[in-house]
Chain A
Amino acid sequence: NAGVTQTPKFQVLKTGQSMTLQCAQDMNHEYMSWYRQDPGMGLRLIHYSVGAGITDQGEVPNGYNVSRSTTEDFPLRLLSAAPSQTSVYFCASSYSDSQNTEAFFGQGTRLTVV
């Protein structure tokens, strides 16, 4: 039982490049979400999903796209990377209503945009 798995762990991008951060969970959780963590800003919600085929925006969605074609996977796409997107990205999942139940976090992806 791997929990929440994020890949890659580290990534360096050039400005303007695109890439996809992968997130997979094997706990059959309905809820999945993406956060970015910056010094002094805490965890800020980018996008979240309440189930396969359903996604919604969080606090800071600009520059990011998501889709949820399966229960297990919730990839985050950066369309055209900018230095302001340098951050640590965490994926999380929970059984049902994310407000009622414990969220399980992946180990994070450290992204640097130069």
Chain B
Amino acid sequence: QQPVQSPQAVILREGEDAVINCSSSKALYSVHWYRQKHGEAPVFLMILLKGGEQKGHEKISASFNEKKQQSSLYLTASQLSYSGTYFCGTGSLYNQGGKLIFGQGTELSVKP
């Protein structure tokens, strides 16, 4: 079952912040975040593992709440280059070594 992402789409002005959420109905082992530009392949941003710390990547960071089976991606002081579709991918606690299931995506547009 796919994780659910919210919001489905968001429009920002340069310099504004955004939060993208990812929720699963299954106990999670890992959460991945990817960004996809239009017409291109998804590109890896970061992985958060069960029991791990909040991760950061330039002005993009993420958290993983194991109890709520949720992850959030934080984009601060957004830049035009942040535009794209963001996907979370989840690994199940009880299916390690197996499937990585992605959410439906969140389309982010950053305007000048």
Contact = CB atoms under 8 A, between A and B. Distances in A.
Contacts, number: 71
Given A44-B2, A44-B102, A97 B41 contact: no
Contacts of B91: 98-100
Interface in A34-84: 35, 40-45, 48, 50, 56, 58-59
A80 to B, nearest CB: 25
Interface stretch (B42-50, B55-63, B72-80): B42-50
A25 interface: no
Given A59-B2, A105-B41, A108-B41, A99 B97 contact: yes
A50 B97 CA distance: 8
Interface residues of A, number: 26
A101 B92 CA distance: 14
Interface of B: 2, 5, 29-30, 32, 34, 40-44, 47, 49, 87, 89, 91-92, 96-105
7 contacts: A40-B104, A42-B2, A59-B101, A90-B41, A100-B30, A102-B47, A103-B42
